Amino acid sequence: MVRQLPVECANLQRAPTDTMKRYEIFADQIAELIRSGMLAPGEKVPSVRHASRTYGVSPSTVFQAYYLLEDRGLIQARARSGYFVRELARHSLAEPETSQQPTQTTEVDVSELVFSVLASLKDPGTVPFGSAFPSPQLFPLPRLARSMAQSVRDMQAQAVIADMTEGNPSLRRQIALRYMVSGVMLPLEELVITSGAMEALNLCLQTVTQPGDLVAIEAPAFYATLQVLERLKLKAVEIPVNPREGIDLNVLSERLASLPIKACWFMSSLQNPLGASMSDDKKRALYEVLHRHQVPLIEDDVYAELYFGSQPPKPVKSFDRDGLVMHCGSFSKCLAPGYRVGWVAGGRYAEQISRLKLMTTISPSVPAQAALADYLQHGGYDRHLRKLRHALEAQQASMLASAARHFPATTKVSRPSGGYFLWFEFPEQVDALRLFQLALAQGISLAPGPIFSATRRFGNCARLNYGHPWDAQSEQAMAVLGRILASF
């Protein structure tokens, strides 16, 4: 069966660029059709001749695009029949619902649990489904090493002291440029370079809160969010999250109206752990609600570059008219883990954040900043990002298919449009902490649901990392997890 697709579904409005070729753009359009369900698993993709005629591209462009999609694990060739959307499994698992509405405010006390989970990741022999990072094999480390060698060799002696206060000027320009390309005009003064996004988030929170204050966060939330709140003696107001659409704006509005919330800390795109991304309209609406109450948003956007679609998601920051949004980013998840360079576009709080930084760590490492500045300018960052996104997308498909093969049929799983985490909701009788221990005993790590909640909910959930190249060991580990799940 070949479906006639409307031309506008795969229009080629985006022109080829220096770094992105025509066939890559075309492949992205087809991938989008597959993701959206317009092209279903098992369905035949348009023939080369048909696609070439319909979309006005050369047959060789179509061929190259299909080869790429085959590499990305999205389509497969069948002998003498052409290309088909890959059938991932006989059945696939359902998606989870929005998390239940939690109690109003909560003292946070989750660190001990988180540390015991993190400790489990130290053994390099463990299957790293519990890891917070993608495989370092996916990063261009040799190219980065060249940038590092080059930039420390060329560094002016004075820079090792001067660059501590303001940050590396070239890196600041490169980051501002990337904002500009994605449609956010950012005055350079707003930009504070930090020791990774974690420092940026800490500084933002300390800038706008005092111990005892209320902070709205997602439920489930990234566990470090909970640890930081605990450390700073802040109280959590948990806002439920839908696995596709993000936080429940109605609940947030109600909470803002009834409670003296001092700040919100949200991931508007590719939320950790659910993978939810708000639509542009919802992001705009979120900003308007916060603007009305004059409550600042700390926008944790560290997965921003790992989208699978053809366009980057817009940050809430792009709708910010009065500097209320502190937008935090990082290179740790998409380029250089361990370099510890992140930033915040701090809006009206930028100067306070910068001062606080001088009092706590003074500066991120100057050589690391210089190396990243050089790499961003000369290293082919956009090309690397495209490769990385394709690898992650293929690995997600592999883990979803494997889960459908091995996990109980009533398991629910998220379908994030980027990043490297899947969120599993297992049958009710599954105890995720027990699952964590049993899996660990078999050499498999995972992140159990309760570490993502101030109230220790999500007791039958877990986050699994698909950021590592999928191989026989991964498949084997999923089968083992399936057997443990069946034993509950």
**Chain residues in the site for a copy of itself (CB under 8 A):** 111, 115, 118, 122, 124, 131, 133, 136-137, 139, 141-142, 144-145, 148-149, 152-153, 155, 157-166, 195-196, 198-199, 202, 206, 211, 224, 227-228, 231, 336-341, 355-356, 358-368, 371
Question: 445 with 121: CB under 8 angstroms?
Answer: yes
Closest distance between a copy of itself and the C-beta of residue 164, in Å? 6
Residue 62: φ, ψ to 5°? -65, -45
Closest distance between a copy of itself and the C-beta of residue 306, in Å? 16
Which residues, at least 6 apart from 454, have a Cβ–Cβ distance to it below 8 Å?
102, 106, 107, 108, 109, 110, 217, 219, 221, 226, 229, 236, 238
Residue closer to a copy of itself (CB basis): 87 or 154: 154
Residue closer to a copy of itself (CB basis): 15 or 157: 157
Task: Give percent helix, percent strand, percent coil of the chain, each to the nearest 5.
Answer: 45, 15, 40
Burial of 408 (0-12, 13-18, 19+ CB in 10 A): middle
Residue closer to a copy of itself (CB basis): 26 or 339: 339
Residue closer to a copy of itself (CB basis): 98 or 131: 131
Residue closer to a copy of itself (CB basis): 128 or 313: 128
Residue closer to a copy of itself (CB basis): 198 or 403: 198
Closest distance between a copy of itself and the C-beta of residue 203, in Å? 9
Report which of 156, 142, 194, 134 is spatially closest to residue 379, judged by C-alpha positions.
Answer: 142
Closest distance between a copy of itself and the C-beta of residue 472, in Å? 20
Closest distance between a copy of itself and the C-beta of residue 331, in Å? 11
Closest distance between a copy of itself and the C-beta of residue 361, in Å? 4
Report which of 305, 272, 308 is spatially closest to residue 394, judged by C-alpha positions.
Answer: 308
Amino acid letter for position 109:
D
Angle between helices 381-406 and 59-71 (to 10 degrees): 50
Closest distance between a copy of itself and the C-beta of residue 375, in Å? 12
Residue closer to a copy of itself (CB basis): 97 or 351: 351
Question: 217 with 265: CB under 8 angstroms?
Answer: yes
- Cα distance between residue 465 and residue 35, in whole Å: 20
